[in-house]
Amino acid sequence: MIGTARSDLHGSGFLGPEIHSADGRCRISPLSFSKDRIERRGAMSLERAKRYLAGYGRDGDVLEFETSSATVELAAQAVGCEPERIAKTLSFAVGDRVALVVCAGDTRIANPKFKTRFGCKAKMLSADEAEKRIGHAVGGVCPFGVKDECDVYLDESLRRFDMVYPACGSSNSAIALTPDELAAIVPKSEWVDVCKLPEGGTPPVSIGLSRAAVG
């Protein structure tokens, strides 16, 4: 994924210092972090996410893989699901806050919708900014255990599925949750409609909770 324009980043899978996005596509500069540094910081971020999930009794449900799950395709292969069920987390600067948009793996940010909702153009954080302001390492940004300046938004595209798979802080982790479970585990999150589906994609549908014990 180095040096390419991508829109399939699982957990804002940034592996370079510069990322520019107008519609969810990311242009990534050459790798700036050593493998050891990424692994160390990924382990710390994973533990941060697990501690958060422990508050909801879900830390034991975190999936850890021997291979990378940093992109939507890799995550889908590791989990064994369709790529669109991977819940990627994209991070944007909105004023002095960070907006984390969790959306289906096959979507892109719709600029007009984003500007209407947030009052500004979609400007993704760089890798360095993301780690500093969110609290998670590159490759595994997720909505669990983030810093106070972050606001979490769940895109309606997730509602198409009975189960989705967000990252858990590292580039080789995920957790299986229904969209409503995800919302319950991140109680301050807000549902938004800021993404666009691929041509021929299935429109969002409402689903109910499948696990009443969440929270």
- Cα 96 to Cα 110: distance, rounded to the nearest angstrom: 22
Phi and psi for 212 in degrees, rounded to 5? -75, -15
Closest CA to 24 of 86, 152, 110, 150: 110
Q: How confident is the model at residue 16 (pLDDT cuts 50, 70, 90)?
A: very low
- Cα 32 to Cα 16: distance, rounded to the nearest angstrom: 5
Q: If you average pLDDT over every residue of the chain, what do you get?
A: 82
Domain positions in the chain are 5-196
pLDDT at 204: 53
pLDDT higher at 169 or 4: 169
Beta bridge partners of 5: 27
pLDDT at 193: 98
Q: Among all chains, which residue has been given the structure tokens 């034991």?
A: 60
pLDDT at 3: 27
Q: How confident is the model at residue 9 (pLDDT cuts 50, 70, 90)?
A: low
Q: Inform me whether the pLDDT recorded for 15 exceeds 50.
A: no
Q: Inform me whether the pLDDT recorded for 214 exceeds 90.
A: no
Closest CA to 161 of 91, 101, 81: 81
Q: How confident is the model at residue 13 (pLDDT cuts 50, 70, 90)?
A: very low
Q: How confident is the model at residue 42 (pLDDT cuts 50, 70, 90)?
A: low
Q: Inform me whether the pLDDT recorded for 17 exceeds 60.
A: no
- % the chain with pLDDT above 90: 67
pLDDT higher at 32 or 162: 162
Q: Is 198 helix (H, G, I), strand (E, B) or coil?
A: coil
pLDDT at 41: 65
In this structure, the number of other CB atoms found within 10 A of the CB of residue 91 comes to 27
Average the pLDDT over 39-57 and give the result.
Answer: 88
Average the pLDDT over 183-208 and give the result.
Answer: 80
Q: Inform me whether the pLDDT recorded for 212 exceeds 90.
A: no
Residues 156-195 pLDDT 10s: 999 999 999 999 999 999 999 999 999 999 999 999 999 9
pLDDT at 112: 97
Q: How confident is the model at residue 139 (pLDDT cuts 50, 70, 90)?
A: confident
CATH 3.90.960.10 fits 5-196, yes or no: yes
pLDDT at 18: 33
